[in-house]
Structure 1
């Protein structure tokens, strides 16, 4: 390779592959992440637990920001649920959705639209949830922030 010649790695395909079998829900709530997970676990029979192996690290303004990720696996299924905290010490994980407190990513065998709609309704019914809305991953400008 000649000196001064460089290549740019196109990661678009890997982003699309990561989000291939996913649904995203944006959540607005005033509850802290661990309390929110406890409510979801109790009311919707999930088992969200903090997964420190996949927490997201962003370096902004010469400072590290850690965004916790909670994980819940569905028994006898390949489906996994991830709950990302979108805020940490004044910084946001997804600046294009700075009003969102949490991003719920469902990865794997997501059921038909009706099943997803029912789950979205259940999430909306949780006390302290002010907004729960589906997010199209194609609208994400910072997809790489959700990939672990």
Structure 2
């Protein structure tokens, strides 16, 4: 009797997950809940922590938990996710150690000009030091963002 082995195609999973997405990096010394409150106030959003999306990474037999905040824009069929990039001394995306938070915008409503406008509005939040659009090609650990 032969055993059928199924292998998850991670490249296809990453490609599917990141279809119609934008990524921005945010630098802020604020706690994640304080930053979300400010972004909510500035943009009229309603980011809330979603514990079911929390990302768990294990390195050297230690567990690290990265908080994910979510906001669904139902009228635009768009979803916004704000990932905490730090947990203790570990990073969700090690190639972006200088970035404190990752903002993922998912959905085909937003175009280049819309995203640039959102970033400009986000920059006006008091606790935000810097926001910049990230190039997907520069991110090696995209799989860490998939929940």
Query: Fold-level match, TM-score > 0.5?
Result: yes
Contact 1:23 1:110 (C-alpha < 8 Å) held by counterparts: no
Unaligned 5+ segments in structure 1 are: none
Instruction: Give the match for residue 124 of structure 1.
Output: 123
Equivalent residue number for residue 36 of structure 1: 35
Does the aligned pair in 2 maintain the 1:67–1:86 contact within 8 Å? yes
User: How many pairs does the alignment contain?
Assistant: 146
How far is the alpha carbon of 1:75 from its aligned partner?
3.0
Query: Which residues of structure 2 form unaligned runs of 5+?
Result: none
CA RMSD of aligned residues (A): 1.8
Compared with structure 1, are the counterparts of its residues 9 and 121 closer, same or farther at alpha carbon in structure 2 (3 Å cutoff)? same
Checking the alignment, whether the CA contact within 8 Å between 1:24 and 1:103 is kept in structure 2 is: yes
TM-score, normalised on structure 2? 0.92
What secondary structure is seen at the aligned counterpart in 2 of 1:25?
Answer: strand
SS at match of 2:16: helix
Where do residues 49-68 of structure 1 align in structure 2 (5 Å cutoff)?
A: 49-68=48-67
**TM-score w.r.t. structure 1 length?**
0.91
Q: Pick closer, same or farther for the CA change 1:77–1:7 going to 2, 3 Å.
A: closer
1:18 aligns with 17
